[in-house]
Amino acid sequence: MNKTPQKPKWMEETKGRIDALQKEHFFDNWSKQKHGKITFYVYPTLNVPGGWFEQRAYIYRINAEKLGVKAPEVAFFAYPSIEVGREIGITPSITFVKERVIHGHIKQSPGHELTHVLLGELNSTDNLPANGLWSEGICVYLDGTETDRKKHALSLNLKKEVLRTPWLEWRKNMPANLYPLAGSIVQYCEQQFGWNKVIEYLREVRKSGANDAEFSMRIFGFPYFELQKKWLGWLEKEAGSGITQPAS
Ligand SMILES: [Zn+2]
């Protein structure tokens, strides 16, 4: 039972590629600067917009407070775009939580990848794996763009069958189009039960959420499928009204 769950293949490949590039001194001429707990390594010739570093250092600090963890030092490699990364065999929107290393690109939201690192302080990635419902939900919700996740989720006009896909099937590996939905689930849970309950849930969940049904009952007071129904009702209730109100 001590076996570490395998990382997705693309993640392993990216890690291997980064290690190889490091040996070739690929990153040696990237400029380095420190803002708060983040050490940025900047792709040569990349022009970073004003405030870009500061915004990330800020959101990292704020989100650490929100999650109730001490923000660890993190290394952040900044690429000009996804495409530039792909040319060298890297998809630069990846966080190695245990190593506290991010390879990100300039146009990403300020908080998403950094929040993955913070979540790692709250609970192990074995319990909150990347691509899972709760880890991505939190990272989307706290990405620093202040997007209303409910409105965003509704704007996608996803089919009912997609919304009704049992959460148990999302928990380990979630398609990218479900990320905004996961964000709206976190938004719903905060509004309905309060942020402390959400934190408690994140702390307690084990084995990629294998016990999330039990915890749903204990912490939120509803069976997991019931929670999904309630979220769906909340999502649909105010659809089109354009106004988000806390659920009563
Ligand atoms: Zn993510």
Provide the pLDDT for residue 6. 55
Is the confidence at residue 68, as pLDDT, over 70? yes
Is the confidence at residue 158, as pLDDT, over 70? yes
177, amino acid identity = N
Q: Rounded to the nearest whole angstrom, what is the distance from the C-alpha of residue 36 to the centroid of ligand 1?
A: 22
DSSP 104-120: EETTS-SSHHHHHHHHH
Q: Rounded to the nearest whole angstrom, what is the distance from the C-alpha of residue 116 to the centroid of ligand 1?
A: 7
- What is the rounded distance in angstroms from the CA atom of residue 77 to the CA atom of residue 95? 10
Per-residue pLDDT band at 71 (split at 50, 70, 90) = very high
Report pLDDT digits (tens) over 162-195.
Answer: 999 999 888 877 888 899 999 999 999 999 999 9
- What is the rounded distance in angstroms from the CA atom of residue 246 to the CA atom of residue 213? 24
Write down the pTM of the prediction.
0.91
Provide the pLDDT for residue 239. 55
CA distances 174 to 85, 91, 136, 181, Å, are 23, 18, 9, 10
Q: Rounded to the nearest whole angstrom, what is the distance from the C-alpha of residue 91 to the centroid of ligand 1?
A: 13
Q: Rounded to the nearest whole angstrom, what is the distance from the C-alpha of residue 140 to the centroid of ligand 1?
A: 7
Q: Rounded to the nearest whole angstrom, what is the distance from the C-alpha of residue 49 to the centroid of ligand 1?
A: 23
Report pLDDT digits (tens) over 26-35.
Answer: 999 999 999 9
Provide the pLDDT for residue 113. 97
Q: Rounded to the nearest whole angstrom, what is the distance from the C-alpha of residue 61 to the centroid of ligand 1?
A: 18
User: In the predicted model, what is the mean pLDDT of the chain?
Assistant: 90
Q: Which residues surround ligand 1, an ion (CB under 5 A)?
A: 136, 139
